[in-house]
Amino acid sequence: MDYVIKLTDISKEFKVLNRREGLMGSFKDILSRDYKIVHAVDKISLSVKQGEIVGFLGPNGAGKSTTIKMMTGVLEPSGGEILVNGRIPYKNRTKNSQEIGVVFGQRSQLWWSLPLIESFKLLKDIYQIPQKEYDEMMELYASLVNIEDLLHKPVRQMSLGQRTLSDILAAFLHNPKIVFLDEPTIGLDVAMKSKIRELIKELNKQRNTTVILTTHDMGDVDALCERIIIIDKGKMLYDNDIKHLRTFFGAYRTLKIRPAEKMSEVVVHLMDELNDLDVQISHDDEWISIVVNEEKIKTLKVLDRIQQTHRIKDMQLEEISTEDVIKKIYKEGVE
């Protein structure tokens, strides 16, 4: 099998100084060499095929950005083997950068005071993009977004959303085999998020670009990823289809009810009445949500029990959401 990315037991350790307080502390720090080793990435193995969109997930500090930095050649691994497009990224940074694109959510890779079109022209020179391919790409962009609004604006005058859009277009411009997106939708409004997702999806489809996507927004995952990889504390937790994950946690359903009586009172009662059933209860102004593990008790039973003492105006039944599944994994891990 041909993989565009292959990591075998990849680790990254950082040596950090154990800092002491005060000026004397700083002197002692320098002299003592009292270091602590942080295992940011701990023996991770994974492989990715051309054209895949992989959601690379994990709680804050899990090691996602560190892993991406090793895949893009910014950091050298402390151990293990890494191949990106068949090359060792940190040893072949120039060659590697020809075949990858990178977007780091918070900071732009573009020339701050140049209009976007000028940045594109520079990238065209840097990557030696043939005129024909460049024109084709611009045509594709024009069909996907309102590019005229962006092209003549200096990046520093752009809104965060426009800048992110521009960064993504810039990352795909030289038609790389892989694009790494580290939290591309961070800080964006719902409309812009959905625009960005559409764009990524379409570029992946049109160019068969492999996309490695880091995000804390499960909306991104639902919209884009068939496969997810979850890491935590530098270690691999999960690597499989998102569908598989759902069946894995498929026993969980959320029963939503709208009570006829006063919300706050009903909630208090239910907490007590359903206490023995091992369900999780939460609510907003309108709905009470009860997460039920069907392996332990049927949702219908729970509903019966509620209706013995309460009147219900309305009800809904939901399968567990990606958001809830991921939350559970962050909390409990995978068996």
Ligand X SMILES: Nc1ncnc2c1ncn2[C@@H]1O[C@H](COP(=O)(O)OP(=O)(O)OP(=O)(O)O)[C@@H](O)[C@H]1O
Positions touching ligand X (CB under 6 A) are 14, 16, 38, 40, 58, 60-66
Query: How many other CB atoms sit within 10 Å of the CB of residue 124?
Result: 18
Q: Which is nearer to Mg ion, 164 or 254 (CB)?
A: 164
Minimum CB separation from ligand X for residue 61, in Å?
4
Q: What's the rounded Cα separation, in Å, for the pair 267 and 256?
A: 12
Q: Does 66 bind Mg ion (CB under 5 A)?
A: no
DSSP 101: E
Query: How many other CB atoms sit within 10 Å of the CB of residue 281?
Result: 15
Residues 7 and 47 sit within 8 Å (Cβ to Cβ): yes
Per the structure block, which two tokens stand in for 218?
A: 């499960």
> Residue 299's binding partner, choosing from Mg ion, ligand X, none, with beta-carbon cut-off 5 to 8 A by kind?
none
Region of 61-69, 91-99, 112-120, 283-291 interacting with Mg ion (CB under 5 A): 61-69
Minimum CB separation from Mg ion for residue 105, in Å?
9
Q: With left for phi above 0 and alpha for psi between -120 and 50, is residue 143 left, alpha or beta?
A: alpha
Q: Does 72 bind Mg ion (CB under 5 A)?
A: no
Residues 290 and 307 sit within 8 Å (Cβ to Cβ): no
> Residue 66's binding partner, choosing from ligand X, Mg ion, none, with beta-carbon cut-off 5 to 8 A by kind?
ligand X
Minimum CB separation from Mg ion for residue 75, in Å?
13
Q: Does 65 bind Mg ion (CB under 5 A)?
A: yes
User: Which residues touch 139 (CB under 8 Å, ≥6 apart)?
Assistant: none
> Residue 61's binding partner, choosing from Mg ion, ligand X, none, with beta-carbon cut-off 5 to 8 A by kind?
ligand X
Per the structure block, which two tokens stand in for 280?
A: 């999780």
Q: Which residues 108-147 are close enough to bind Mg ion by CB under 5 A? A: none
Q: Which is nearer to Mg ion, 52 or 183 (CB)?
A: 183
> Residue 40's binding partner, choosing from ligand X, Mg ion, none, with beta-carbon cut-off 5 to 8 A by kind?
ligand X
> Residue 263's binding partner, choosing from Mg ion, ligand X, none, with beta-carbon cut-off 5 to 8 A by kind?
none
Q: With left for phi above 0 and alpha for psi between -120 and 50, is residue 33 left, alpha or beta?
A: left
**Chain residues in the site for Mg ion (CB under 5 A):** 65
